[in-house]
Amino acid sequence: MSETREAEQPVTAVSAGSAHHRRTWGDLPTVLRRGIVLVALLGAWQLSTLFMTGAQAQLMRGPLEVGEAIVDGFARGDLVDATLTTLRILLLSMAIGIVVAALLTTFAMWSKLGDDILNLLTAMINPLPAIALLPLAMIWIGLNTTALVVIIANAVIWPLAINVSTGFRTVNPTLLAVGRNIGLSGWRLVRGVYLPAALPHIVSGIKTGWAFGWRTIIAAELVFGVAGEGGGLGYFINYARFFNRTEDMFAGIVTIMIIGIAFDLLFSLLERKTVIKWGMKTA
């Protein structure tokens, strides 16, 4: 690999100056470039497993086996159940987080004191990884879904609230004047101007909230998994470790990655169809 690259270097330098432009890596379409890198990485991963023996091989699985484990997991149903459990708890927590964040934002918009409280709380709680509250939540609430929901909702609320209140606060005053000029006031002004104008901030708040929530719920489930409460993907991974099913541990991890990527794509799509299309955010 390295020899060919060195050999290529002078050629590239010459071709850059000459009229005959040689196709370089950067000229390929992004999808193709990323696809090639992905295949190369998976290949390297698969190759590395071939050279492992004994105990090492026991603890490692290649992409093919992991893919098989994922298919099996979905066929058996336990990986589906784990995924759905995690998503259900996360969506419930996010819904609660959104409601609380909306209330906090309203309070912060409504009064200077509310604004101070929101800013101070966010500054204090944001640097604290939400998972650090889990032990307390466990002894206060118990080993149940409620404790999980409380922890995840907490992880979601603060980034969301601070983004939404920033969005509301920075709405272009001319747009508000136009809204009032055509006769909007109160809730109609919020729906007609504040919400759409703050949409870039709202979407980015939901994105950050989701990212925090997703990381926190997996971590929380790993701890809960030890405690024995049946459930989500974190539990699935821990359970696989308990029974020494390495391929299932990998299957859980890869599932988490795939869902993370899927949600990121979903949010990107949402942004492309709204705020980017409207020129309110650059791509």
Partner 1 sequence: MTTNTSHAGSTQSASGAGTPLLSVQHAKIGYVVNRETHVAVGDVSFEVRQGEKIMLLGPSGCGKSTLLKAVAGFLGLFDGQIRLAGRETLKPGPDRAVVFQEFDQLFPWKTVRDNIVHPQRVIGRARSEAERRSDEYLELMKLTQAADRYPHQLSGGMKQRVAIARALALDPMILLMDEPFGALDAQTRSRLQRELIDVAARTNVTLLFVTHSIQEAVYVGDRVVVLGNAPSTVQEVVDVSALDDPSTLEFTSTQEHLRSLLAIDDDELGNLAFE
Residues that bind partner 1 (CB under 8 A): 172, 174-175, 177-178, 180-184, 188, 192-193, 196, 199, 274, 277-280
Select 53 or 174, whichever has its Cβ closest to partner 1: 174
Select 18 or 174, whichever has its Cβ closest to partner 1: 174
| Helix, strand counts (H, E) of the chain | 14, 0
What's the one-letter identity of residue 213? G
- Give the residue from 141, 156, 163 showing the smallest Cα distance to 217: 156
Alpha carbon distance 93, 137 (integer Å): 15
Any residues with CB less than 8 A from the CB of 157 and at least 6 apart, and which? 97, 100, 101, 104, 209
Select 24 or 172, whichever has its Cβ closest to partner 1: 172
Alpha carbon distance 162, 209 (integer Å): 11
Select 66 or 275, whichever has its Cβ closest to partner 1: 275
Closest contact distance (angstroms) between CB of 125 and partner 1 is: 32
Q: Which two tokens stand for residue 41?
A: 């990485």
Closest contact distance (angstroms) between CB of 260 and partner 1 is: 29
- Give the residue from 75, 78, 49 showing the smallest Cα distance to 62: 49
Closest contact distance (angstroms) between CB of 276 and partner 1 is: 10
Closest contact distance (angstroms) between CB of 209 and partner 1 is: 22
Select 219 or 276, whichever has its Cβ closest to partner 1: 276
Is residue 86 a contact partner of residue 232, using CB atoms and an 8 Å limit?
Answer: yes
Select 26 or 279, whichever has its Cβ closest to partner 1: 279
Closest contact distance (angstroms) between CB of 167 and partner 1 is: 13
Alpha carbon distance 224, 221 (integer Å): 5
Closest contact distance (angstroms) between CB of 206 and partner 1 is: 17
Q: Please provide the distance, in angstroms rounded to a whole number, between the alpha carbons at the two ends of the chain.
A: 35
